[in-house]
């Protein structure tokens, strides 16, 4: 009996250990599976296709804001056709190219675009790949859109040879504006409204809001994005290149109530940028909300910035190349 009792107790102990181990593996597997699910979902949100707008054919154009325009198209270096609007300003040698936010469309920029046109600038607004009227193609959070951004600059220079070119971008478009200007010294001025410093930091902030294990989920999202979409988050890091824009003028704009891309991104970018950089913090506005808080003031500030930065005196400054 004693031997049988000892054997039974030993068996229960072993079975209990096995059950605990199995439970541990199950919990770990559930956590890992959950983290992978979060990563896959996040990666899809960042890179998945934009749903076509069933009312796209009836969208606003510059006609609604009484601005002359010409529908235009041009090709990115990988052959994707992009479509947009050219807002001509006769007698002006200044061109401002607008970059939309993530999965945005050119109509989003009609307000600032028409304001800059009225201030004496030629303006180019266009849809990134996979959005609006441009060709369907895999999009991303700034990586696949870089060829589009460069193609728009090339089109502006071809359309108006010898022009002085600036960029205004919002959110993802602001991050792209920093990246493009850092590599192209002939871009003479940048306005970046609500840019991110790095993709990873945006996701860390978002996942923390939902109390997710950020170190795991963000790393997995990066891995899923690499495997499924062909690029990693380190490929889109404005913080690493913003210093190359100096001494050309850079205006950073950010709302201190931004919950999508916190204000700390703006402070970090400002600290990493060089001479010629200005930071305009707007109180009590959410992501990309500065324009809507006071449209007149916003347009006046941005137009004045470009008028100064893209003037012939600035453009011929040997320090600026």
Neighbour-count burial for 191-225, b at 16+ CB within 10 Å, e otherwise: bbbbbbbbbbbbbbbbbeeeebebebbbbbbbebb
Q: What is the pLDDT of residue 182?
A: 98
Between CA 110 and CA 121 the distance in angstroms is 14
Q: What is the pLDDT of residue 57?
A: 61
- Three-state DSSP class for 70? strand
Rounded mean pLDDT for each run of 10 residues along the chain, 321 residues in total: 42 34 29 67 79 67 97 96 98 98 96 98 97 93 97 98 98 98 98 98 89 82 93 97 98 98 98 97 98 98 98 51 33
Give long-range contacts, CB 8 A cutoff, 24+ apart: 290-297.
290/193, 290/194, 290/253, 290/254, 290/255, 291/111, 291/112, 291/193, 295/111, 295/115
Q: What is the pLDDT of residue 315?
A: 47
53-198+237-320 folds as: Rossmann fold (3.40.50)
Q: Domain residue spans in the chain?
A: 1-47+202-235, 53-198+237-320
């Amino acid at each position: 009996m004693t031997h049988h009792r000892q054997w039974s107790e030993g068996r229960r102990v072993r079975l209990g250990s096995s059950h605990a181990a199995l439970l541990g593996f199950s919990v770990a597997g559930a956590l890992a599976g959950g983290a992978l699910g979060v990563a896959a979902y996040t990666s899809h949100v960042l890179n998945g296709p934009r749903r076509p707008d069933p009312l796209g054919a009836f969208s606003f154009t510059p006609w609604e804001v009484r601005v002359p325009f010409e529908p235009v198209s041009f090709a990115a270096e990988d052959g994707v056709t992009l479509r947009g609007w050219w807002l001509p300003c006769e007698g002006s040698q200044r061109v401002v190219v607008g970059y939309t936010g993530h999965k945005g469309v050119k109509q989003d920029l009609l307000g600032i675009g028409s304001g800059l046109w009225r201030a004496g600038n030629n303006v180019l607004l266009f849809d990134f790949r996979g959005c609006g009227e441009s060709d369907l193609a895999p999009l991303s959070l700034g990586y696949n859109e870089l060829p589009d951004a460069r193609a728009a600059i090339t089109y502006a220079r071809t359309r108006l040879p010898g022009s002085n070119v600036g960029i205004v971008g919002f959110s993802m478009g602001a991050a792209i504006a920093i990246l493009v200007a850092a590599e192209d010294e002939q871009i003479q001025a940048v306005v970046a409204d609500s840019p991110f410093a790095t993709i990873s930091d945006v996701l860390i902030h978002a996942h923390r809001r939902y109390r997710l294990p950020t170190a795991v989920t963000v790393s997995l999202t990066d891995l899923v994005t690499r495997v499924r979409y062909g690029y990693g988050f380190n490929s889109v890091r404005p913080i690493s290149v913003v210093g190359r824009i100096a001494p050309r003028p850079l205006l950073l704009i950010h709302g201190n109530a931004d919950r999508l891309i916190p204000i700390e991104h703006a402070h970090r970018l400002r600290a990493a940028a060089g001479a010629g950089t200005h930071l305009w913090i707007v109180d009590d506005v959410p992501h990309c909300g500065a324009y809507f808080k006071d449209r007149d003031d916003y347009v006046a500030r941005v137009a004045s910035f470009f008028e100064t930065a893209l003037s012939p005196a600035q453009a011929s400054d040997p320090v600026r190349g």
